[in-house]
Amino acid sequence: MIEILNDLPEGIVGAVASGTVTGDDYESVLMPAVLDATAGDKKAKFLLVFGDDFEGYDAQAAKDDAKLGAHYWSDFERIAFVSDHTVYRSLVKGFGFLMPGEVRVFPMADLDPAKEWLAS
C-alpha cells in the first residue's frame, strides 16, 4: 500500500510504503501525486518512506516503478529515502548516484531532518 503524505511543503511529493505495494497503488495513488507535482515542467522533490511493515512490491508495482523512474528520470531535483530496512537502504545508496538529482538515505529516526533537507 502507498499513502501520500499531505503535510509537506509545495513541490514535495511524499509517500509511505507499507505491506505489499501493488500496481494499483502506483496508478491510483502515487502517479497522480507525481503528475501534479511535476505539471508544467516543474522539478519536484520526493520523500519515500519504507515503514517497518513494508514487505515489497508485487510484479505490476515493480514494473510501474521502473516506468515511473524512466519517465520522470530528470524531474526530481532531490530524493530522500527514509527506512531502517538495510537491504533497501544499501540499494538506494549503491544506485543513487545514477539519478540526475541528489539522493540521500535517512534512518526512520531522521524523518524530520529528511523533510527539512528536501524543503531547503
DSSP classification of residue 10: T
Instruction: Find the CATH number of the domain harbouring 98.
Output: 3.30.750
Query: Domains in the chain: how many in total?
Result: 1
The confidence score (pLDDT) of residue 101 equals 85
| Domain containing residue 109 | 2-119
**pLDDT digit string (tens) for 24-53?**
998 899 989 988 888 888 889 999 999 999
CA–CA separation, 4 vs 98, rounded Å?
A: 25
